[in-house]
Structure 1
Amino acid sequence: MVNTLAPGIDLDDGAALASADRSGLLRHAALSGAQARAVDTAVNEGALARLPGTRPRSLVVVARRAVPIAASRLVLDAVAAELSFPAVVVDHAPTWIGPLDVIIVMGDDPGDPAMVAAVDRAVRRGCGVVVATPSEGPMRAAGAPHAIPMPPRVAVPEIFATCGYAAVVLAVLRHIGPGEAVTAIELGAIADVLDDEALRGHPEREILANPAKSLASKLLGNRVVFAGDATGDQGLAAHAASTMLRAGGMVAASASLLEVVEVFDHLAGPAPASDVDPIFHDPEIDGPLGTEPVKVVVVSRTSPGTGTRSRAALLGSAADYLFANPQDSADDQPPGVEAPVRSLGQVLTNTLQLCVRLDMAAAYARLARSH
Structure 2
Amino acid sequence: MLDDSLFDDPDRLTEADSRGLLRSAALAGAQVRAAAETVQEIGFDDLADGRPRSLVLISRPGLGPSACGVLAALAGPSCPVPVIVAESVPVWVGPLDVVFAHTPDPGDPTLAEGVATATRRGASMVLAAPADGPVAASGAGRAKVVPPRIPVPDELTFAHVFTVGLSVLVALGLLRCDTDQLADELDREAERAHPGQEPLMNPAKSLALRLADHEALLWGVDLTATAVAGHGSYALGVHAGLACDVASHAQATTRHALYRSVRDTGSDLFADPDEDGGATPRVFLISTRHDERSEADERTATRSLPGADLVAPGESARADAVLRAAVLALRFDLAAVYLGLAAGTLGGPGRQALAVH
TM-score by length of 1: 0.83
Alignment of 1:26-105 (within 5 A): 26-48=22-44, 51-81=47-77, 83-105=79-101
The 3 A distance-change label for structure 1 pair 77 and 259 is: closer
3-state DSSP class of the match of 1:362? helix
Distance in 1 between the 2:250 and 2:77 partners? Answer: 24
Aligned-pair identity in percent equals 32
Q: Which residue of 2 aligns with 1:339?
A: none
Alignment of 1:331-350 (within 5 A): 343=319, 346-350=320-324
User: CA offsets per residue over residues 318-338 of structure 1, 9 Å max, x none?
Assistant: x1111111579xxxxxxxxxx
Aligned counterpart for 2:104 among listed residues 95, 108, 126 = 108
> Does the Cα contact within 8 Å between 1:227 and 1:296 map onto a contact in 2?
yes
Instruction: Report the count of equivalent residues.
Output: 337
Q: Letter of the 1:190 partner, please give it.
A: L
Aligned counterpart for 2:288 among listed residues 286, 298, 301 = 301
Q: Letter of the 1:223 partner, please give it.
A: E
Distance in 2 between the 1:255 and 1:51 partners? Answer: 33
Within the alignment, does 1:129 sit opposite 2:141 as a pair? no
Q: Letter of the 2:12 partner, please give it.
A: A
3-state DSSP class of the match of 1:10? helix
The 3 A distance-change label for structure 1 pair 96 and 213 is: same
Q: Letter of the 1:217 partner, please give it.
A: L
Distance in 2 between the 1:57 and 1:348 partners? Answer: 24
Q: Which residue of 2 aligns with 1:215?
A: 207
State the Cα distance separating 1:42 from its structure 2 match. Answer: 1.3
3-state DSSP class of the match of 1:203? coil
Within the alignment, does 1:195 sit opposite 2:187 as a pair? yes
3-state DSSP class of the match of 2:282? strand
> Does the Cα contact within 8 Å between 1:272 and 1:289 map onto a contact in 2?
no
> Does the Cα contact within 8 Å between 1:104 and 1:130 map onto a contact in 2?
yes
Distance in 2 between the 1:272 and 1:54 partners? Answer: 54
3-state DSSP class of the match of 1:19? helix
User: CA offsets per residue over residues 180-222 of structure 1, 9 Å max, x none?
Assistant: xx2x421111111011111110001111111101111111122
> Does the Cα contact within 8 Å between 2:219 and 2:229 map onto a contact in 1?
yes
> Does the Cα contact within 8 Å between 1:225 and 1:241 map onto a contact in 2?
no
> Does the Cα contact within 8 Å between 1:243 and 1:362 map onto a contact in 2?
yes
State the Cα distance separating 1:117 from its structure 2 match. Answer: 0.3
Q: Letter of the 1:348 partner, please give it.
A: V
> Does the Cα contact within 8 Å between 1:272 and 1:290 map onto a contact in 2?
no
Q: Which residue of 1 aligns with 2:328?
A: 354
Q: Letter of the 2:100 partner, please give it.
A: I
Within the alignment, does 1:164 sit opposite 2:160 as a pair? yes
Q: Which residue of 2 aligns with 1:229?
A: 221
Q: Letter of the 2:277 partner, please give it.
A: G
Distance in 2 between the 1:140 and 1:314 partners? Answer: 49
Aligned counterpart for 2:13 among listed residues 11, 17, 22 = 17
> Does the Cα contact within 8 Å between 1:302 and 1:323 map onto a contact in 2?
yes
The 3 A distance-change label for structure 1 pair 272 and 301 is: closer
Distance in 2 between the 1:258 and 1:90 partners? Answer: 24
3-state DSSP class of the match of 1:11? helix
The 3 A distance-change label for structure 1 pair 272 and 166 is: closer
Aligned counterpart for 2:142 among listed residues 140, 146, 157 = 146
Alignment of 1:231-250 (within 5 A): 231-250=223-242
The 3 A distance-change label for structure 1 pair 192 and 274 is: closer
Q: Which residue of 1 aligns with 2:246?
A: 254
The 3 A distance-change label for structure 1 pair 300 and 120 is: same
Within the alignment, does 1:205 sit opposite 2:179 as a pair? no
Q: Letter of the 1:23 partner, please give it.
A: R
Within the alignment, does 1:311 sit opposite 2:301 as a pair? yes
> Does the Cα contact within 8 Å between 1:9 and 1:367 map onto a contact in 2?
no
Q: Which residue of 2 aligns with 1:336?
A: none
> Does the Cα contact within 8 Å between 2:220 and 2:226 map onto a contact in 1?
yes
User: CA offsets per residue over residues 104-158 of structure 1, 9 Å max, x none?
Assistant: 1211011011010011001110111112110112123211322111111123222
TM-score by length of 2: 0.86
Distance in 1 between the 2:209 and 2:170 partners? Answer: 38
Q: Which moved more, 1:91-100 or 1:238-247?
A: 238-247
Distance in 2 between the 1:22 and 1:198 partners? Answer: 19
Distance in 1 between the 2:300 and 2:54 partners? Answer: 39
Distance in 2 between the 1:259 and 1:58 partners? Answer: 27
